[in-house]
Amino acid sequence: MDITQLLKGYDLSKLTVGVLGGHSALDVAHGAKQYGFKTVVVARKGRDKTYSKYFKTRDESAGAKGNEKRSVGCLDEVILVDQFTDILNRDIQQKLRSMNTIFVHNRYFWVYFDDFSKVENGFNVPIFGSRALLKLEERDQAYNQYQLLHDAGIRTPKFFKSPKEIDRPVLVKASEATRGYERAFFVAVDEASYEAEGTKMEKEGKVNAKWRQASIEEFVVGAAINFNYFYSPRLGTLELLGTDSRRQTNLDGFLRMTAKEQEKAMQYVDLKMIETGHVACTVKESLLEKAYELGEKFVKTTQRLPREIDPAGKGIIGPFALQGAVVAEEGKEDIVIFDVSFRIPGSPGTFATPYSRYLYGKSMSVGERIGMELKDAVDAGRVGDLLT
């Protein structure tokens, strides 16, 4: 999309930051408010109280006598829809445009559309970030995150084209039967165990019928770490905003049991690895240079993508994450990347790690960093650099 046309009619001095009601909406809205922007959330009816009630902006009584007012909350406007795909409706888009909305997308924004092109071509609201790159997270794309990581020279687990090639423990990342955008992992050690476990999970309704099309990758044992970055096109610099690790249900519950308790519980409760939240965690300073090196390789590779993959020709913009593990081999540590987020990651707690404080003198969430970048770009007359 032509960003000049998307911004036509916008008053850049009165921008609103928009989000979809889920994933990282509160983080983005809070960050936008810190830098003077109005905020709007498109929320689904019946799942909107977080935004329309609990964190809605409002004045409260303050002071010893209650005769003072203070403003609380971070969501100024709430647009209710029957389903998230209604955001493409003309009236919803017109309302967003009338508010001079810059939309910050996340994975929550995309998983409800079975056709990415509907958002790429039909959402006539400027997006902060890389509109066309998020689909590369999907493994069924002709060119996806794995090819990009390979082209960038970033280490990933070994991938197996066929179960016949399995010669070590592997992780099969099949799609859930009920929630296709979530994955139901299972482990196999050879072709026979691959077929047996996958068939069993399909019969139990845990994976969909296309599980044989899922990626088969080496099962890497290490400390799980998500590296959360921010690339500023305005400054041409890469930042490591924070590091975190996932909490998964009911895996984390099993990990809190003794081996004997696990064995007993597994007779009645199936193991699941559904992402529930994140915890902030730091990495040793000796790993930071390696982490930056991986991020810089990733950014440069996205900037070299052909226009049929990235029509805007801008590469990655703003927040992204490389998710993987730190492994120890032959007396040294290395970072292996499993997954990529081509947009704001799901953890608002990365500000609890010290890396943004080392850079800016204060800890900064991803949402705040987006707000700062947008304000600085507006002041510099370069807001179009951030949008697609």
Which of 218, 235, 267 terminates a domain? The answer is 218
| 181 inside domain | yes
- Quote the CA–CA distance of 26 and 72 in Å, as a whole number: 13
For residues 5-28, one letter each, b for 16 or more C-beta atoms within 10 angstroms of the residue's C-beta and e for the rest, the string is ebbeebeeeebbbbbbbbbbbbbb
Closest among 387, 339, 343, 344 to 148, alpha carbons compared: 339
More confident residue, 325 or 207: 325
The SS3 call for residue 217 is: strand
Q: What is the pLDDT of residue 182?
A: 64
The percent of residues above 70 in pLDDT, for the chain, comes to: 98
Scanning the chain, the segments in alpha helix (DSSP H) are 3-6, 25-34, 49, 90-98, 107-110, 116-122, 145-152, 191-203, 251-255, 259-265, 288-303, 355-360, 366-380
What is the mean predicted confidence (pLDDT) over 344-351?
86
The CATH number of residue 242's host domain is: 3.30.470.20
| 199 inside domain | yes
> Do 193 and 46 share a domain, yes or no?
no
- Residue 21 DSSP one-character state: S
- Quote the CA–CA distance of 302 and 306 in Å, as a whole number: 9
| 63 inside domain | yes
Q: What is the mean pLDDT of the chain?
A: 92
> Do 25 and 69 share a domain, yes or no?
yes
Alpha carbon 68 to its chain's center: 39
Per-residue confidence at 206, pLDDT binned at 50, 70, 90? confident
| 77 inside domain | yes
| 388 inside domain | no
Per-residue confidence at 108, pLDDT binned at 50, 70, 90? confident
Q: Tell if the pTM clears 0.75, that is, is over it.
A: yes
> Do 213 and 227 share a domain, yes or no?
no
> Do 40 and 124 share a domain, yes or no?
yes
| 58 inside domain | yes
Q: What are 47-98's pLDDT values in tens digits?
A: 999 999 999 999 998 888 888 889 999 999 999 999 999 999 999 999 999 9
Q: How many domains does the chain have?
A: 3
> Do 52 and 68 share a domain, yes or no?
yes
> Do 305 and 166 share a domain, yes or no?
no
| 376 inside domain | no
Residue that has been written with the tokens 């109280």 in this structure: 49
More confident residue, 206 or 18: 18
> Do 107 and 210 share a domain, yes or no?
no
Residue type, 375: K
> Do 53 and 178 share a domain, yes or no?
no
> Do 209 and 114 share a domain, yes or no?
no
| 381 inside domain | no
Host domain of residue 52: 3-128
Token pair for 198:
């996958």
> Do 179 and 292 share a domain, yes or no?
no
Q: What is the pLDDT of residue 110?
A: 74
Closest among 347, 322, 343, 340 to 388, alpha carbons compared: 343
Q: What are 295-343's pLDDT values in tens digits?
A: 999 999 999 999 999 999 999 999 999 999 999 988 789 999 999 999 9
> Do 165 and 189 share a domain, yes or no?
yes
Q: What is the pLDDT of residue 325?
A: 95
